[in-house]
């Protein structure tokens, strides 16, 4: 499935594709919850973080560049991220995509909209306290080299500075669906199930969506 190159011929098909973005700070539980959502609601789950790590593992020149950027706790350029995401979506026979860890900044949003001519159905925001996210990252022992305290704190800072403005952008469009991700995995998923069961009918007044900045 090539979202960019299908052109007018694929416009009808494009309109049927449903995309949900899942965003939250590092350690907010995006991957865990996305696996459950995909299983229960029939979405194809794509983790942008995993896509980037797979590119690193390939040993490509792009992968080496991505590795260096991630070690520094910075964000990968939008054109690179969107290109790799599009490649991952190509050839997948699915009309429902759950995209985990994207967009990470306003530039990601613009690149995605410009290249795919699509917007998400809604954006699931996993709102989790920083101390809880830090505790989870330090205890998960997945062997990821970016799970050290120095890089973790850089990632928190990047999230606060870069990702929160995208939350505000989608909030202004009425697309944010926020859940308290500081609770247990099961409790968080119960809140998520309500959102996905109701879909577009799950409208929450803007005043209840106000984002609280993380204090570093």
Is residue 65 scored above 70 in pLDDT? yes
Is the residue at 182 inside a domain? yes
- Give the three-state DSSP class for 96: strand
Domain count, the chain: 1
pLDDT band at 167 (very low <50, low <70, confident <90, very high): very high
- Which of 2-6, 161-165, 181-185 is least confident? 2-6
Domain that holds residue 183: 26-198
The binding site for a ribonucleoside 5'-phosphate comprises: 53, 74-76, 101-104, 144, 155
Is the residue at 173 inside a domain? yes
pLDDT band at 66 (very low <50, low <70, confident <90, very high): very high
Is the residue at 4 inside a domain? no
214: left (phi over 0), alpha (psi -120 to 50) or beta: beta
CATH code, domain carrying 130: 3.40.50.300
The predicted structure's pLDDT at residue 3: 53
Is residue 141 scored above 90 in pLDDT? no
The binding site comprises: 27-32, 53, 74-76, 101-104, 108, 140, 144, 155, 183
The binding site for CMP comprises: 108
Which tens digits make up the pLDDT trace of 93-133? Answer: 888 999 998 998 899 999 999 988 889 999 999 999 888 98
Instruction: Give me the phi and psi of 74, to 5 degrees please.
Output: -95, 175
Asked if residue 166 lies in contact with residue 125, where contact means CB atoms within 8 angstroms, the answer is no
Q: Tokens for 143? A: 């062997």
Cα gap 195→201, rounded to integer Å = 9
Is the residue at 93 inside a domain? yes
The binding site for ATP comprises: 27-32, 140, 183
Residue 195 CB: number of other CB atoms within 10 A? 17
């Amino acid at each position: 499935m090539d979202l960019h190159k299908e052109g007018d011929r694929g416009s009808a098909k494009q309109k049927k594709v449903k995309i949900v973005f899942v965003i939250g700070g590092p350690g907010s539980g995006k991957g865990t919850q996305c696996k459950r959502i995909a299983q229960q609601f029939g979405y194809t789950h794509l983790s942008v973080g995993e896509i980037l790590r797979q590119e690193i593992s390939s040993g490509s020149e792009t992968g080496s560049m991505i590795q260096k950027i991630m070690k520094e706790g910075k964000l990968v350029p939008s054109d690179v991220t969107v290109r790799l995401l599009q490649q991952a979506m190509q050839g997948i026979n699915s009309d429902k995509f759950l995209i985990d860890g994207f967009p990470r900044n306003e530039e990601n949003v613009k690149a995605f909209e410009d290249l795919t001519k699509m917007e998400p159905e809604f954006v699931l925001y996993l709102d989790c306290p920083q101390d809880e996210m830090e505790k989870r990252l330090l205890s998960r022992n997945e062997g990821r080299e970016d799970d050290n305290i120095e890089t973790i704190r850089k990632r928190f800072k990047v999230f606060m500075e870069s990702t929160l403005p995208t939350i505000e952008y989608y909030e202004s469009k009425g697309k944010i669906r926020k859940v308290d991700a500081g609770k247990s995995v099961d409790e968080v998923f119960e809140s998520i199930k309500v959102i996905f069961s109701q879909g577009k009918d799950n409208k929450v007044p803007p005043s209840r969506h106000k984002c609280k900045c993380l204090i570093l």
